[in-house]
A = this chain, B = another copy of it.
């Protein structure tokens, strides 16, 4: 219930926080964003970011967010603790922890800054000549955890293999269009969540599902408020791949592109897997 309004979109309900004291908020897991065990990591990342963003001392816009998933999160309440570790004229460094039963289940560092108009330029470009979202079928999520139903995903390349035949493939590259269902204007909070919406790259490499969970997730926000406003409720383009799968951990890197081809966020994570 931020600003006295009651959240109505399922995403806003899932990341809703009640201030308890100066650096303490109360949140809760949401059945709408349930994963196989505990909540979808993207929504946990967004909840932690929301604590800093909601804090009366917060200034600037998000530049970097790292979330470490320290323990399984049980369904129910989360105590969220914030600390403004250091601030200067234009930059703030925050530490945010989520606790259950008195122990940390997730911790995050977040950097906020005032952006200023200066020389700017892209380097990477979004993949060219893509089919429009409307030309592609929506990914069928029946039987998958609840959070996957909260996204309308249209696979361009590298979807879950039709035949989960266990025959390893060499490449984990994916690209897809994605937006909230129901649509919701993109902001930093939903951008943080969608950056984690890629299924684990090991499912593609092994062509089968297996236990896999994000250990640490870092997202860099390239978008400013104007870019988010221009994006609105439209689909974003997500592109992801892994670099190495080694003895129980793999990395994956992703980019989130606006419909207009601007890089909104780049995101990286390291993931535990058990073959």
Contact surface of A with B, Cβ cutoff 8 Å: 63-64, 66, 68, 70-71, 85-86, 88, 91, 93, 95, 97, 103-105, 107, 109, 111, 113, 115-124, 168, 170-172, 201, 205-206, 215-216, 218, 220, 222, 224, 241-249, 251, 253, 255, 263, 266, 268, 270, 272-275
Contact = CB atoms under 8 A, between A and B. Distances in A.
Nearest to A86: B70
Contacts of A273: 118
Q: Which 9 A-B pairs have the closest CB atoms?
A: A70-B86, A115-B247, A64-B216, A119-B275, A124-B243, A70-B93, A66-B66, A244-B263, A118-B275
A179 to B, nearest CB: 21
A249 B115 contact: yes
Contacts of A168: 119, 121
Contact of A243 (B91, B171, B255): B255
A107 B85 contact: yes
Main secondary structure of the interface of A (DSSP, over half): strand
Residue of A222, A247, A272 with highest tally of chain B CB at under 10 A: A247
A189 B67 CA distance: 22
A274 B114 CA distance: 13
A120 to B, nearest CB: 5
A269 to B, nearest CB: 9
Given A121-B205, A220-B270, A249-B63, A104 B115 contact: no
Contacts of A218: 66, 216, 218, 268
B88 A71 contact: yes
Contacts of A241: 123
A117 B275 CA distance: 10
30 contacts: A64-B215, A64-B216, A66-B109, A70-B93, A71-B86, A71-B88, A85-B104, A93-B107, A107-B109, A109-B109, A113-B272, A115-B247, A115-B249, A118-B274, A119-B245, A120-B247, A121-B168, A122-B245, A123-B172, A123-B241, A123-B242, A123-B244, A123-B245, A220-B249, A220-B251, A222-B243, A243-B263, A244-B263, A253-B266, A268-B268
Given A70-B93, A107-B109, A120 B245 contact: yes
Nearest to A122: B244
A86 B69 CA distance: 10
B117 A68 contact: no
Given A88-B71, A119-B275, A220-B270, A113 B248 contact: yes
